[in-house]
């Protein structure tokens, strides 16, 4: 059993990279990937912690890319955490997050929520701040009861407190991951909100740019969606990968390796993904 999608306190997870590694081993995983949003800051500590465990550690990242509708996240595995074009791009993206976060806070204040930067920072610490941390601050202030309510009413795309930010074009994110020695995987395709034909065209374009895989195994995918994405992977010669998208306390119903309970990512996926590295 493996899990190729998990977050730590270096983005919006509740466990440190070291604690995440320990949790993965406790869950009986044979391999676990750390894929924090727009940063590889936790990769070195995560991989070091995995060295003493009966589990393979995989360093990665999850990048938000620009699309006209829905959301597109690109996972990158085995990327070089040292100085390279990808790291420069990630720094640019994180700078855009800072501007966006200030705008979101201002929007929430205009809506009457008495939140401060420090209130939100208490949940992100010194790492990448994102909308999930605003959701936690809203929950702590008893303005909402859950992360889902926070996004549905205030933080989601098109909602009153939402603010956009800088994102890379999808093909550029693929190219940068490949340029850093990594394998790029299209994460949870259902969030793109595309019909089958449009998704097929996008996957073909990304495959031409160097895409290595599609995240077919995912807790929120229906059986029909999973079969659709498995077929897309086969059609375009891509690896069908998967993961839980584990965040810890923010999404307590999602467990490492098994998601809501039925997720199963075949072990052989990891070797297939390694073979797709440039």
pLDDT 10s digits, 13-47: 999 999 999 999 999 999 999 999 999 999 999 99
Distance of CA 38 to the CA centre of its chain: 9
Looking at domain 90-155, its CATH architecture is Orthogonal Bundle (1.10)
pLDDT given at position 82: 80
Residue in the structure block whose two tokens are 């449009």: 198
pLDDT category, 123, cuts 50, 70, 90?
confident
Give the residue range(s) of CATH 3.20.20.140 domains in the chain: 2-80+167-275
Residue 129, pLDDT > 90, answer no
pLDDT category, 98, cuts 50, 70, 90?
confident
Find out whether 170 and 202 touch, Cβ atoms under 8 Å. Answer: yes
Distance CA 77, CA 241 (A): 11
Strands ordered across the beta sheet of 2-3: 2-3, 31-34, 56-65, 72-77, 183-186, 213-217, 239-242
Distance CA 27, CA 225 (A): 26
More confident residue, 217 or 81: 217
SS3 content of the chain, % helix, strand, coil (to 5): 45, 15, 40
pLDDT given at position 241: 98
pLDDT category, 164, cuts 50, 70, 90?
confident
Give the residue range(s) of CATH 1.10.150.650 domains in the chain: 90-155
CATH of domain 2-80+167-275: 3.20.20.140
pLDDT given at position 166: 84
pLDDT given at position 126: 66
Which tokens is 82 given? 């040292």
- Average pLDDT across the chain, whole number: 93
Give the model confidence (pLDDT) of 219-273 as tens digits.
999 999 999 999 999 999 999 999 999 999 878 899 999 999 999 999 999 999 9
């Amino acid at each position: 059993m493996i899990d190729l999608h998990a977050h730590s306190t270096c983005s919006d997870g509740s466990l440190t990279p070291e604690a995440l590694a320990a949790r993965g081993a406790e869950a009986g995983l044979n391999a676990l990937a750390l894929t924090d949003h727009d940063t590889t800051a936790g990769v070195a500590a995560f991989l070091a912690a995995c060295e003493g465990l009966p589990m393979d550690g995989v360093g990665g990242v999850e990048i938000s890319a620009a699309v006209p509708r829905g959301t597109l996240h690109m996972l990158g595995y085995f990327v070089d955490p040292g100085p390279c074009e990808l790291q420069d791009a990630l720094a640019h993206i994180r700078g855009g997050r800072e501007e966006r976060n200030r705008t979101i806070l201002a929007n929430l204040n205009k809506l009457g929520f008495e939140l401060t930067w420090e209130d939100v920072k208490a949940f992100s610490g010194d790492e990448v701040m994102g909308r999930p941390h605003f959701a936690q601050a809203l929950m702590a202030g008893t303005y909402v009861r859950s992360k889902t309510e926070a996004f549905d009413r205030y933080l989601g795309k098109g909602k009153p407190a939402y603010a956009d930010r800088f994102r890379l074009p999808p093909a550029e994110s693929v190219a940068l991951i490949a340029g850093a020695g990594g394998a790029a995987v299209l994460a949870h395709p259902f969030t793109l909100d595309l019909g089958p034909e449009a998704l097929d065209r996008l996957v073909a374009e990304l495959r031409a740019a160097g895409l290595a895989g599609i995240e077919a195994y995912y807790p929120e995918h229906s059986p029909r969606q999973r079969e659709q994405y498995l077929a897309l992977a086969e059609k375009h010669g891509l690896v069908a990968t998967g993961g839980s998208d584990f965040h810890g306390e923010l999404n307590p119903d999602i467990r490492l390796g098994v998601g809501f309970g039925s997720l199963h990512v075949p072990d052989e996926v990891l070797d297939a993904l390694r073979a797709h590295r440039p």
